[in-house]
Amino acid sequence: MSNTKHPATSETAKADPAWVKWLDRRTGIRSLLHEALDEPIPGGARWAYIFGSGLLYLFLSQIVTGIFLTLYYVPSSDHAHTTVAYISKVVSSGLFIRSVHAYGASAIIILLIFHISQTLLYGSYKGRRDLLWLSGCVLLALMLGMAFTGYLLPWDEKSYFASAIGTNLIGEVPLIGPSMQELLRGGMQMGTLTVSRFFVLHVFILPGLLFAFIAMHIFLFRKKGAAGPIQEDPYTPKLPTQGFYPRQVAMDMAASLFIVLALALVAHFLPIDLGPRANPADTSYIPRPEWYYVPMFQWLKIVSGRWSLIGGIVFPAFLALLFAAIPFLDRGRERRPWRRPVVVASFVIFIGSYVALGVASHRDDARDPSVASQLALQKQAEINYMRQPFQAQATSGTTSASLATSNPLVTKGATIYEAQSCSACHGENGTGTAAAPALVGIDRKYSADQLAHLLHHFSPKMIQGGMPAVDLDPADTDALVAYLRSLK
C-alpha cells in the first residue's frame, strides 16, 4: 500500500523540462499540482471514494447541458413550452441533451445517496470534519432546490401541476409560508412571473451558491484530508498513505466515464417526454412528482388532516436538524459501523422507510382504477404529443405580432396579413368576422401549393364576397401562406 513517491514534488523538479520551469516561476504551478495530486489518502485509493468526484463531474455536465438548453429556452409562461418543444423536436441532438440534463438530475440524487451513505457508514464526518459535513448538508439542500426549480421550467401539464403542489406545500408552513409562497410564485397564481423566478433561481442564484459551497466543501475536505478506511483513527491517521495521483485519479476518471456512458445510453434509448402545454383549467390532471420526491409526497398524504402540521412540517424539520447535527452527536473516535448502532440503525430505518413510502405510493396508484386509468391517459397524452411535429403555437396574445413563432417566415407572413388588411374581413389572427369565414385550421383544407394557387385564382365565393385581389411576389406569397397555415 505504501507509496510515498510524489511525482510532482520538488525532488523531481530538477528533471523538469525548461518550459515547466518557466511556467512554475510565474505561476507556482508545481506546488499547485502538488497540492491537487499528492493529497495523501490513508490506506490508499479505493472504489468507495469515487462518489464525491462523480458528483463533481455530474455538476459540470449539468452546467454544460444547461447552457445549451438556455440558448433556446425562453422563461415565460407563453413561450417556455414552445421553446422546450422546439428543443425536443427540431434542434439537432436537442432531445438528447435535454434528456442528459433531466437524467443527470436523477443521477445526482442517486450519487448523493451513495455519497452520504458512505460518509455515514464509514463515520467519515469524525475528526473535526463537522463543518465539512455541514457544507455537505447545504449542498444537499441546494441540489434538491435545483431539482425542484428545474422541474417547472418545461411548463407542460406534469411540471405545472407538480410545481403547483410543491408551492402549495410551502404555503402550508406556519407564519412565513404564505408570503414565501407568494414570493416564489410572484403572485397568488402560477404564471409568467413564476417561470421567471424559478428560472432565475435555477440558472443564477442556486448555481452561484452551489459553486461557493462546492468550493468550500472541497477546501474543507482537503484541509482535513481523507478519513480513510473504517479502522483508521479520524484525528491522527496511522495507516500508510498513498497519493491521490495516480490510482485514485484513475478510479475517479473511470467512474466518471461510466457515468457518461450510462447517461448517454439512457438518454439515447429512453429520451424523456414533453407533455402537452400546461392548462391550469384542467381539473382532471393527477400530478405525480419525480421519483425522489414521491416518498415525501406519500408521507404528506399519510399525515394529511389533523396531523399535517406536526407530520408535514415539524417532524421533517426535526429530522433535517438531526441529520445536520450527526457529527456533533456522534463524537467518539470509533468509526466501525457495528460499534455505532444508533447512527447506523437510524440511517437504515430512514432509507428503509423512504423506499417503503415510494413503493406504497405506486401500489396506491395501481390499486385505484380511476387513478390508474387517468395516469395511463396522461402518459399516453405525453407520448402522442411527442409524436406530433413541432408547431409554433399561437398564444393568448391579441395581435398577430405577439404570436409565439420561432419561424421567421411565419412572422413575416403575419406582417403581410396585417398590411394587406386581410384582418378587416377574416379577423385578427384569422378568427373570422361576419364579412368572411375564419381561416384558422386552413392547413387541413389546403396544402401550401393549393393555398398559394387559391390566393391568385379566387373561387366564385371569394369573388362574390368582394375579397380584394392579392398582389404579392412569390416570396411574400410563401410567407403569407406559411402564416395562414400556422393559424391554429
Q: Which is nearer to ligand HEC, 238 or 453 (CB)?
A: 453
Minimal distance in Å, beta carbon 472 to ligand HEC?
8
Q: 371 Cβ partners below 8 Å, 6+ apart?
A: 286, 364, 365
Q: HSE-up of 391 (CA within 13 Å, CB side)?
A: 17
Q: Does 426 bind ligand HEC (CB under 6 A)?
A: yes
Q: What angle do CA 409, 405, 197 make, to 5 degrees?
A: 150
Minimal distance in Å, beta carbon 439 to ligand HEC?
6
CA 339 to chain centre: 39
Q: Does 468 bind ligand HEC (CB under 6 A)?
A: yes
What is the C-alpha separation between 360 and 294, in angstroms, rounded?
10
The grid coordinates of residue 316 equal 421533517
Minimal distance in Å, beta carbon 414 to ligand HEC?
11
Q: Does 415 bind ligand HEC (CB under 6 A)?
A: no
SS3 403: coil
Q: Which is nearer to ligand HEC, 94 or 427 (CB)?
A: 427
CB atoms within 10 A of CB 295: 19
Q: Does 480 bind ligand HEC (CB under 6 A)?
A: yes
Minimal distance in Å, beta carbon 450 to ligand HEC?
10
Minimal distance in Å, beta carbon 462 to ligand HEC?
4
Instruction: Select the residue interacting with ligand HEC from 174, 369, 466, 474 (CB under 6 A).
Output: 466
Exposed (0-12), middle (13-18) or buried (19+): which is 251, by Cβ within 10 Å? middle
Whether 217 contacts 136, CB under 8 Å: yes
Instruction: Select the residue interacting with ligand HEC from 67, 310, 345, 424 (CB under 6 A).
Output: 424
Instruction: Select the residue interacting with ligand HEC from 421, 431, 447, 450 (CB under 6 A).
Output: 421
Residue 327 to residues 25, 224, 350, 412, Cα–Cα distance (Å): 42, 15, 17, 64
Minimal distance in Å, beta carbon 476 to ligand HEC?
10
Minimal distance in Å, beta carbon 404 to ligand HEC?
21
Q: In this structure, what DSSP letter does residue 171 have?
A: H
- The CB-nearest residue to ligand HEC is 465
Q: Which is nearer to ligand HEC, 445 or 488 (CB)?
A: 445
In terms of phi and psi (left: phi > 0; alpha: psi -120 to 50; beta: otherwise), the region of 417 is alpha
Amino acid at position 292, single letter: Y
Q: Which is nearer to ligand HEC, 52 or 427 (CB)?
A: 427
Q: Does 474 bind ligand HEC (CB under 6 A)?
A: no
Cis peptide before 389 (omega within 30 of 0): no
In terms of phi and psi (left: phi > 0; alpha: psi -120 to 50; beta: otherwise), the region of 374 is alpha
Minimal distance in Å, beta carbon 294 to ligand HEC?
50
Judged by CB under 6 A, the number of residues near ligand HEC is 24
Q: Which is nearer to ligand HEC, 124 or 400 (CB)?
A: 400
Using CB under 6 A, which residues numbered 298 to 357 contact ligand HEC? Answer: none
Using CB under 6 A, which residues numbered 111 to 170 contact ligand HEC? Answer: none
Q: 26 Cβ partners below 8 Å, 6+ apart?
A: none
Q: In this structure, what DSSP letter does residue 10 have?
A: G
Q: Taking CB under 6 A as the rule, which mask of x and - marks residues 436-465 in contact with ligand HEC?
A: xx-x--x--x-----x--xx-----xx--x
Beta bridge partners of 42: 241
Instruction: Select the residue interacting with ligand HEC from 3, 375, 467, 478 (CB under 6 A).
Output: 467
What is the C-alpha separation between 6 and 214, in angstroms, rounded?
26
Query: Which residues lie near ligand HEC (CB under 6 A)?
Result: 420-422, 424-426, 435-437, 439, 442, 445, 451, 454-455, 461-462, 465-468, 470, 480, 484
